[in-house]
């Protein structure tokens, strides 16, 4: 069986971009692979310095996945910080790549341009992500389009290590749903926790409505493009054509139609999510992190030997 791994940063409430980009595709395919689902809590530390919020977000990411239908008994759900081998491996990769190479990262440049602090953790981010993936001999990584370059970084880290120390890491492939690509936020740019332009996946009905009503509309075209680009993930083109024709010029009515479609999708999942307790999440993460650690530790023993720090 092929191995699949993906991760989400616990840096804020998940949004409908995360849902269509990765939660939904993951939920549809994870049980046909040996699947690992990681809460990237150390990645979140690059931007979040509120311990209570980070703790809460970790619970929330797992609840969100379980609410969309992921069964913990059919995959390994774990916490990045609880498998110390990830940060250890990231250090070794950081010693193999150059600063100019990391400077090419779109995600880094983008985040700094948006006002995030350019701390060294943010800069080294792709090497921690490479460690996340490569430690498990991962074959495929389902992600949104915005993570494509991170997969290139991971392959490059694998190749650099293999060249220096001998064949050790498998080069993973990204699995990106072309039709989804990037879900735009309320301002028309990529929907992102760090840009404050999200529609929360598990917000209350009022929170979702408020976010949709704030979508920036531009009256120059035939239809409110920013609304449409989100809406097309919920309905077929022909259904949307009818709705958008009937409500031509009434952006409020079109936004209300989008709110109703989001609510239809989210309501049953919200109910399921409310039934998942923190204790259940603790149990799932403990069990998953123990299993992940077992695999990563074996790989790391081999790596330490190859690098020359192991004296046995």
For the question of residue 232 being annotated catalytic, the response is no
> The tokens 């077929």 sit on which residue?
236
Using CB under 6 A, pick the residue from 21, 72, 200, 224 that binds ligand TYM: 21
Tell me, by CB under 6 A, how many residues bind ligand TYM.
Answer: 25
Q: Is 272 a catalytic residue?
A: no
**Residues with Cβ < 8 Å from 280, sequence gap 6 or more?**
none
Length in residues, the chain:
312
Select 67 or 143, whichever has its Cβ closest to ligand TYM. Answer: 143
Q: Which is nearer to ligand TYM, 141 or 269 (CB)?
A: 141
The one among 68, 90, 122, 191 contacting ligand TYM by CB under 6 A: 191
Answer for which of 4, 9, 81, 257 binds ligand TYM (CB under 6 A) is 9
Kindly name the residue from 24, 63, 111, 255 that is annotated as catalytic: 111
Closest CA to 181 of 131, 229, 109: 229
Query: 151: which 2 tokens?
Result: 């997969």
Q: If DSSP codes are grouped into helix, strand and coil, which group holds residue 6? A: strand
Strand partners, 140: 4, 173
Nearest to 33 by CA among 136, 149, 148: 136
Q: Quick check: is 111 catalytic?
A: yes
CA separation for the pair 68, 55 (Å, rounded): 21
Smallest separation, CB 150 to ligand TYM (Å): 6
Residues between 146 and 185 that touch ligand TYM (CB under 6 A): 146-147, 150, 182-183
Q: Tell me which of 41, 64, 94, 132 binds ligand TYM, using CB under 6 A.
A: 132
192 is a site residue for ligand TYM (CB under 6 A): yes
Q: Which two tokens stand for residue 143?
A: 């992600």
Pair of tokens at residue 97: 């790549």
Residues with a known catalytic role: 111, 190, 193
């Amino acid at each position: 069986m092929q191995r699949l791994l993906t991760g989400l940063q616990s840096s804020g409430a998940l949004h409908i971009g995360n849902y269509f980009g990765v939660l939904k595709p993951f939920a549809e395919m994870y049980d046909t692979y040996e699947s690992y689902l990681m809460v990237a809590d150390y990645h979140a530390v690059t931007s979040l310095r509120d311990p209570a919020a980070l703790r809460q977000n970790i619970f929330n990411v797992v609840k969100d996945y379980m609410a969309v239908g992921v069964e913990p008994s059919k995959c390994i759900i774990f916490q990045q910080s609880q498998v110390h081998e990830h940060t250890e491996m990231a250090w070794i990769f950081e010693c193999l790549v150059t600063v100019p190479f990391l400077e090419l990262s779109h995600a880094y440049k983008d985040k700094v341009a948006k006002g995030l602090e350019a701390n060294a953790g943010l800069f080294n981010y792709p090497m921690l992500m490479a460690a996340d993936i490569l430690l498990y001999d991962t074959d495929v990584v389902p992600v949104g389009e915005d993570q494509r370059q991170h997969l290139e970084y991971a392959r490059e880290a694998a190749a650099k290590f293999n060249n220096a120390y001998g064949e050790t890491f498998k080069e993973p492939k990204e699995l990106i749903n072309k039709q989804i690509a990037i879900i735009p936020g309320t301002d028309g740019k990529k929907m992102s926790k760090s840009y404050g332009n999200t529609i929360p996946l598990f917000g209350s009905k009022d929170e979702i409505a408020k976010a949709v009503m704030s979508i920036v509309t531009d009256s120059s075209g035939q239809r409110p493009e920013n609304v449409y680009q989100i809406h097309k993930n919920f309905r077929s083109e022909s259904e949307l054509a009818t709705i958008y024709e009937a409500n031509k010029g009434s952006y409020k009515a079109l936004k209300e139609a989008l709110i109703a479609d989001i609510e239809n999708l989210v309501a049953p999942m919200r109910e399921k999510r409310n039934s998942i307790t923190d204790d259940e999440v603790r149990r799932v993460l403990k069990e998953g992190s123990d299993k992940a650690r077992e695999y990563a530790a074996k790989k790391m023993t081999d790596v330490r030997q190859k690098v020359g720090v192991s004296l046995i």
